[in-house]
Amino acid sequence: MTRIAIVVGSVRPGRYSRAVADWVLAAAKDRDDAEFELVDLADHPLPHLDEPVPASAGSYANAHTKAWAEVIGGFDGFVFVTPEYNHSTSGVLKNAIDYLFAEWNNKAAGFVSYGVSGGVRAVEHLRLVAAEVKLATVRAQVGLLFHNDFENFVTLTPQPHQVAALTATLDDVVAWSSALAPLRA
């Protein structure tokens, strides 16, 4: 069975990303084409990148890197839930991606973002980073707007078109993850 991680891309106090990731997981739970699991970066604390050699060398020195590699290596695809901080993604998500290389290779990635502008600039940056670690990003994405998709700018209440966008994103991530399986074999 195809395994997809929903990566909670913020550890900031008062973060919205956990509520958004829980919404993604709830939408995915009834699907029978893949298994979905939350991977919360708050549960995987990584210092600022402290490996002595580049991740592409595949030689990890630190126990925290090896543990992170084991988690990520077990998935076939990813849905990254990202805030938009200063027109980009969170530093903790970028750092978590930078730690590894082969564990991301030939897998699919989709994006669910949120912010004043729907987080779309964060996703644009993540697409560039994903390409460098050989993640195939799907076109469909969700961009939740604080003024439309959060009641009183606090409680997640996605508009119907966001639900449809999430379905399309999940469909594509599952399909691409399965299509890329021969490259991972």
Structural domain total, the chain = 1
Beta strands in 25-106, from DSSP E residues, in sequence order = 35-40, 77-83
Question: Using CA atoms in the order 106, 83, 122, 38, what is the torsion angle rounded to 10 degrees?
Answer: 0
Percentage of the chain surpassing pLDDT 70? 100
Confidence of residue 9 (pLDDT cuts 50, 70, 90): very high
The pLDDT score that the predictor gives to residue 6 is 99
pLDDT, average across residues 134-162: 97
Q: Please report, for the domain that includes residue 32, its CATH number.
A: 3.40.50.360
pLDDT, average across residues 162-167: 98
Averaged pLDDT of the chain: 98
The pLDDT score that the predictor gives to residue 95 is 98
For residue 56, the one-letter residue type is: S
Structural domain including 21 reads: 3-184
Confidence of residue 102 (pLDDT cuts 50, 70, 90): very high
The pLDDT score that the predictor gives to residue 179 is 98
The pLDDT score that the predictor gives to residue 76 is 98
Percentage of the chain surpassing pLDDT 90? 100
Other Cβ atoms less than 10 A from the Cβ of 109: the count is: 27
The pLDDT score that the predictor gives to residue 145 is 98
pLDDT for 21-77, tens place per residue? 999 999 999 999 999 999 999 999 999 999 999 999 999 999 999 999 999 999 999
CA distance 50 to 99: 8
Residues 6+ apart with CB under 8 A from 97: 104, 129, 130, 133
The pLDDT score that the predictor gives to residue 78 is 99
The pLDDT score that the predictor gives to residue 116 is 96
CA distance 106 to 63: 24
